[in-house]
A and B are shown apart, each in its own frame.
Chain A
Amino acid sequence: QVQPVDSGGGLVKPGGSLRLSCVVSGFTFSDHYMSWIRQAPGKGLELISYIGKISSPTYYADSVRGRFTISRDNAKNSLYLQMNSLRAEDTAVYYCARVIDSSIDHWGQGTLVTVSS
Chain B
Amino acid sequence: AQSVSQHNHHVILSEAASLELGCNYSYGGTVNLFWYVQYPGQHLQLLLKYFSGDPLVKGIKGFEAEFIKSKFSFNLRKPSVQWSDTAEYFCAVNPILTGGGNKLTFGTGTQLKVEL
Q: Decide whether A and B are members of one complex.
A: no
A contact residues vs B (CB 8 Å cutoff): none
